[in-house]
Structure 1
């Protein structure tokens, strides 16, 4: 049954190459040999993107978080699993200096959040910073 499902999901060319194989395990093994290197390259690209992504000051934190979450989801698809705490740490290290107080508060209070919770808190912090900046500009001018 599994062999039929696999053959039904792959292209006609691949079907012809694998139809004579004895089991679904043989088909999967052969497909991994054929395409496994592509997964490794894609995983390396996702890791590089995740590690090198830094938010530019003034960029909406939501856009940055969605980008980071996308890289993390790609890594999960390619088999590179990061625990929730490490994912949050990756995001926190990518934030600009304007979020230093938030990061310090997060660590000092030993908070623990899922990425979606972190996104909500970061958006609240960003909104608060914008309001305070507007008030400060009104006072100064």
Structure 2
């Protein structure tokens, strides 16, 4: 009885004035039962509201991932205080499921590699992934892969064609330019044979002479 009186006095000393008035005529056991009746229903309602907010929490596309994850971690900590703690794996799954489609590659890699992280470590990883996405990191990786695949295809197509000339044949000049850089027709430097004004003039004159000769022959045949 002495211990019960001491505990009752201690409980009353820690209560607010309103609760003291309600429990001043009760013993310790009666106080405990009355407090349970008052607050257990409230705790159950709080647990329901907190778990509902946690499982329905979804991050909108473009919003900062840090604020979103911190809010969800707050819900998880509240549930733990209410006596319904989530283990790290389940809490991680709930957070990953709340992310938008822009994080789908991150979630796939996380699950495929079976990464085990605490919630603060997961928060750091998500912030890093968000920073890389803003810089276009995922797009750059995709572009690099596409470029490599295209390069392989081009190399394969070149290998299936004609082989390049080797040795002296590879050094053989083409297009009417001599080895010392002079035009084959006039002997001057600075242009190709096909662009040589003297060569072009000679070709023009040859065509004119050929046309006149063919015309004369035609007149003879008709006469």
Query: What TM bracket, shorter-length normalisation?
Result: 0.7 to 0.9
Deviations 1:13-67 (A, max 9, x none): 21122233333x5423320111211111111110110011100010100010111
Q: Which whole-Å deviations, capped at 9, do the CAs of 1:73-119 have from their partners, x for residues lacking one?
A: 12112222111111111101101111111111111111111110000
The aligned residue for residue 18 of structure 1 is: 23
Aligned-partner Cα distance in 2 for 1:8–1:114: 40
Q: How many residues align?
A: 134
TM-score (normalizing by structure 1): 0.85
Greater shift in the superposed pair: 102-111 or 71-80: 71-80
Question: Alignment partner for residue 72 of structure 1, among 61, 72, 76?
Answer: 76
SS of residue matched to 2:84? coil
Alignment root-mean-square deviation, CA: 1.9
Are the aligned partners of 2:77 and 2:85 in contact in 1 as well (CA < 8 Å)? no
Q: Secondary structure at the match of 2:136?
A: helix
Alpha-carbon separation, structure 1, partners of 2:66 and 2:97: 16
Alpha-carbon shift at residue 5 of structure 1 (Å): 4.1
Q: Are residues 128 and 10 of structure 1, via their aligned partners in 2, closer, same or farther at CA, if it must alter by over 3 Å?
A: same
Report the more deviating stretch, 30-39 or 89-98.
30-39
Q: Distance in 2 between matches of 1:15 and 1:92?
A: 46
Q: Which residue of 2 aligns with 1:96?
A: 100
Q: 1:83 is matched with which residue?
A: 87
Instruction: State the structure with more CA Rg.
Output: 2
TM-score (norm 2): 0.55
CA distance in 2, matches of 1:9, 1:38: 20
With over 3 angstroms needed to count, the CA separation of the structure-2 counterparts of 1:47 and 1:4, relative to structure 1, is: same
Aligned equivalents of 1:37, 1:30: Cα separation in 2? 12
Residues 1:2 and 1:96: Cα distance change in structure 2 (over 3 Å): farther
Q: Larger % of helix: which? A: 1
Q: 1:120 aligns with which of 107, 119, 124?
A: 124
